[in-house]
Amino acid sequence: MKRIVLLSLTVALPALAETPAQLLNGYVTEAAKAQPGFAPSAERGRQFYVERRSTSDKMPSCSTCHTDEPVAAGKHVITNKRIEPIAPIAGSKRFTEPAKTEKWFHRNCKEVVGRDCTAGEKADLLRFLLTKSGA
């Protein structure tokens, strides 16, 4: 029993990222399991970020709240609360805490996309956001 627990902890270790690049590597590894040879694309990430979907009239895209420019502060369209810039260069804590990152991916993907995002979508989006930050 202890071996199984230790093995599952070992598999989960990539999720213990401390930098956005480490988190990106974890998503790439996960995406490659479903799609061998997967490589993240900043262009696919940009498309994902700005794509208008029909899930929610008020929040049809990521850029609705986060603005077209990820290094700028946004505003939640329903609550009017200020949202810190999503690009890592503009906010030192962005994409550094895996649990927090997953919480927001889960919440925002459900609201905007209508489902959980895949590891590949997360990797593409993060690659785009890192590209916007010059990383």
Number of Cα atoms under 13 Å in the Cβ half of residue 83: 23
Q: Find out whether 105 and 112 touch, Cβ atoms under 8 Å.
A: no
Answer for the pair 108, 28: CB distance below 8 angstroms, yes or no.
Answer: no
- Kind plus residue range of the DSSP H or E element containing 30: helix 20-34
Query: What is the tens place of the pLDDT at every residue in 39-60?
Result: 999 999 999 999 999 887 888 9
CB-CB neighbours of 100 under 10 Å: 12
For 19-132, CATH number out of 1.10.760.10, 3.20.20.120, 3.40.640.10, 3.20.20.140 equals: 1.10.760.10
Chain centre distance of CA 96: 11
Give pLDDT tens digits for 60-102.
999 999 999 999 999 999 999 999 999 988 876 889 899 999 9
Domain segments of the chain as ranges: 19-132
Bridge-based pairing state of the strands 82-83 and 74-75: antiparallel
Tokens representing 20 are 């956005």
Residue 83, SS3? Answer: strand
CB atoms within 10 A of CB 43: 11
How does residue 10 score in pLDDT terms, banded at 50, 70 and 90?
very low
What is the pLDDT at residue 133? 59
- When pLDDT is cut at 50, 70 and 90, the band that residue 130 belongs to is very high
Strand ranges in the chain using DSSP code E only, listed in sequence order: 74-75, 82-83
